[in-house]
Amino acid sequence: MSRVEQLQQALDEVGADAMVLRLAENVLLATGYWVQIGGLGIAVVPRQGEAALLVPEYEEPEARGSWPGDLRTFPAIRFDGESAPAAIDRILRQLAQEHGAAGGTIGYEGSFDSVAPPRLDGEPNAVSGGTQALIRSTFSTEKLVDVTPALEAIRLVKSEHDLDRLRVTNQIAKLGLDAFKEHAVAGRTEAEVAAAVESAMVAGGHGYEGARTVRAYATVLSGPETAAGWQYFLHRARRIEQDDVVMLELGTCADGYWSDHTRTVVAGTATDRQRQALAAVLAGADAALAAAKPGATGGEVDAASRAAVAAAGFEQFPHHTGHGTGFRYHESRPQLVPAGEHALEAGMVIVTEPGIYEEGLGGFRWEDDAVVTAEGGRLLAETDYGLD
């Protein structure tokens, strides 16, 4: 079943006549096109018939490359004719009429309280009052229904195309993971290392296996403070010292497909106990991946990871063991957490990120992305380096 057919089935189930999607992640889901500016790229999926993609005129060639269906364009970024809002209003009214959805029940992205940024990630869009008013007005209805649960469920299992693009995203992330190993040395500041990681990915990622647009989100922490590295940290102007522990947290987005990685290295020579800690973390990750088979629950995967870390003589920190990823840095499902009830299915993409944090020793976390298969989680990219 195509994505559009899945979305139409969801419309059937909630009794809605069409859905209007404005978030980059959901326009991508429906059409395969990753919009440049949120709100200036809209997908309309009717209960029956063809879905439509609205984009500014100047995006038509790129949009046409991803979306073979109904494509409607409007002028934007210029004041010498119809304005973009007026044109969007006009086209949505037309679509409402063409699909007999005017006055009907319309699905919208009603509970996305966090979002994946579009290509222009400095100013992401959201679905708030303005979008709801637009839908009410153009579809002549007060009957809006939140289709967030259906969207989250549909994107949970990745298609072959999704998996191929996620493989590319992970390969581009590897450019950054390798740059991290190279640059995480004494004398560099944390911010310099983060800049080098992102630079390697942006410079090397564009054009890599057809990737059009790559954005990197790196954060680096070093030194004794890594013992609190289970927190969300931020890099500083601090210079890495000899034998410091250095951690990288890395989000990667290639054409709307996301990955999430962590690496830990020592800028010099690791102690025996630090090596044991990383070995325990890797054992925890391996155990989680081995357990990540269709039918397993998030809680079972989490427990497998913690048991392996305990068997290696350490205690895994009580943050999550992992989560879903793909259309977002962090997908809402599945959660790989203590007692987590989400059941894994083949084709889901997850991360495993066990961590050990000890005062005096430092923080050790290692995170990779994997697709769930009958044999367990299969990694989407691997690096070939260790702690030092």
Residues within window 106-125 making contact with a second copy, judged by CB under 8 A: 109-117, 119-125
CB of 275 to a second copy, least distance (A): 26
Report if residue 137 touches a second copy, rule: CB under 8 A: no
Q: Which amino acid is at 290?
A: A
d(CA 370, CA 359): 31
Pick 32 or 118: Cβ nearer a second copy: 118
Per-residue CA distances from 87 to 71, 134, 190, 191, 259 (Å): 14, 12, 47, 44, 35
- Residues touching a second copy, count (CB under 8 A): 75
Q: Which of 11, 24, 30, 38 binds a second copy (CB under 8 A)?
A: 38
Output DSSP code: residue 155.
T
Q: Which of 7, 11, 37, 292 binds a second copy (CB under 8 A)?
A: 37
Encoded one letter per residue, x for contact with a second copy by CB under 8 A and - for no contact, window 251-290 reads x-x----x--------------------------------
Pick 79 or 160: Cβ nearer a second copy: 79
Count of CB atoms situated within 10 Å of the CB of 264: 28
| Interaction residues for a second copy, span 290-329 (CB under 8 A) | 317-320, 328-329
Residue 36's nearest CA partner among 104, 98, 109, 124 is: 124
| Interaction residues for a second copy, span 46-65 (CB under 8 A) | 56, 58
Q: Are 380 and 170 in contact (CB under 8 A)?
A: yes
Q: Which of 1, 77, 86, 346 binds a second copy (CB under 8 A)?
A: 77
Q: Which two tokens stand for residue 113?
A: 């309280």
Q: Which of 69, 86, 338, 385 binds a second copy (CB under 8 A)?
A: 338
Looking only at the bridges linking them, the beta strands covering 349-352 and 368-373 are antiparallel
Report the Cα 141 to chain-centroid distance in Å.
33
| Interaction residues for a second copy, span 167-226 (CB under 8 A) | 189-192, 194-196, 198-200, 202-203, 205-207, 212-215, 217, 219
CB of 303 to a second copy, least distance (A): 12
Q: Which amino acid is at 52?
A: A
Most distant CA pair in the chain, distance:
70
Q: Which two tokens stand for residue 350?
A: 């997850």
CB of 57 to a second copy, least distance (A): 9
